[in-house]
């Protein structure tokens, strides 16, 4: 598919990688429907995109709410005059060991149900429901297209990320599942598994832990959103790419 033919939803579009994807798509002439819970960030994104060859439409979206997802897809289809793509990017972190011992008191502490569920609701359930609704809308109009899921290197397992790893592993697995299920509609599905990327999410990490991770990246630096955009652009443009996950991690092994 050509970038300037895209009418594409980007979730988590107000900041980080989602914001970068939305701007790069608009620079290439695409129409983008960016959704996020951060309305201030969305307003700034829409303002920055003025004058670009494409257009960015914005609307508040909480992917953890099924009604929100359905309404957003309907709105996006109308705003862009069609729909042929999705970058399934929205995600959150609620890290914590599943079981740990308090260093001071010796108390055994368990990961809370709220920590678990918040990540699953956004990173997996929300991503699944918006993919479902986007594909249903495209299938009902006979529109071919492409879905890109944002997985993670953490899908292989990472200490303190039981919830995040589970969600990202499931998205990688469903990339293959959905590629098979959506083939009859002419819809491809690919995934990207970033390593450590410079975003507001990673900027909030403990500095010592951040430095230790960067020291283990063979290319010698933290990734940039542009590194991930290159992979997203490839998936959109290569009509023979389907059902696979691309690791873009600088060679980092967790």
38-58 pLDDT tens trace:
999 999 999 999 999 999 999
The two tokens of residue 136 are: 């249903």
Residue 87: Cβ within 10 Å count:
29
Q: Which residues are catalytic?
A: 164
Kindly state the DSSP code that residue 79 receives in the 8-state scheme.
H
pLDDT at 205 over 80: no
pLDDT at 26 over 90: yes
pLDDT per position as a tens digit, 64-103: 999 999 999 999 999 999 999 999 999 999 999 999 999 9
Query: With contact defined as beta carbons under 8 Å apart, do 17 and 150 qualify?
Result: yes
pLDDT at 4 over 90: yes
Report the pLDDT averaged over residues 170-195: 98
Confidence category of residue 203, pLDDT binned at 50, 70, 90 = confident
Higher pLDDT, 253 or 36: 36
Among 78-92, 122-136, 200-214, the minimum mean pLDDT is found in: 200-214
CATH 3.40.50.720 correct for 3-246: yes
Interhelix angle 162-182/127-141, nearest 10 degrees: 10
- pTM confidence score: 0.94
Query: With contact defined as beta carbons under 8 Å apart, do 213 and 159 qualify?
Result: no
**Residue among 158, 237, 239 at smallest CA distance from 193:** 158
């Amino acid at each position: 598919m050509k970038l300037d033919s895209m009418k594409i939803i980007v979730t988590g579009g107000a900041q980080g990688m989602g914001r970068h994807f939305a701007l790069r798509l608009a620079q290439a002439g695409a129409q983008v429907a960016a959704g996020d819970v951060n309305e201030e960030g969305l307003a700034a994104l829409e303002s920055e995109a003025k004058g670009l060859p494409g257009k960015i439409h914005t609307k508040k979206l909480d992917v953890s709410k099924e009604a929100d997802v359905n309404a957003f897809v309907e709105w996006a289809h109308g705003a862009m005059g069609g729909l042929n793509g999705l970058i399934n990017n929205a995600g959150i972190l609620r890290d914590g060991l599943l079981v740990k011992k308090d260093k001071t008191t010796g108390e055994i502490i368990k990961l809370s149900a709220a920590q678990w569920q918040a990540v699953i609701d956004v990173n997996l359930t929300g991503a699944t429901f918006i993919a479902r609704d986007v594909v249903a809308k495209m299938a009902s109009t006979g529109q071919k297209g492409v879905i890109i899921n944002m997985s993670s290197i953490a899908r292989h397992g990472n200490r303190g990320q039981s919830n995040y790893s589970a969600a990202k592993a499931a998205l990688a697995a469903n990339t293959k599942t959905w590629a098979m299920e959506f083939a009859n509609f002419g819809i491809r599905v690919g995934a990207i598994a970033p390593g450590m990327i410079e975003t507001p999410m990673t900027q909030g990490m403990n500095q010592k832990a951040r430095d230790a991770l960067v020291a283990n990246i063979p290319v010698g630096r933290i990734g940039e959103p542009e590194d991930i955009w290159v992979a997203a652009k490839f998936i959109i443009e290569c009509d023979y790419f389907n059902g696979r996950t691309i690791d873009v991690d600088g060679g980092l092994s967790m």
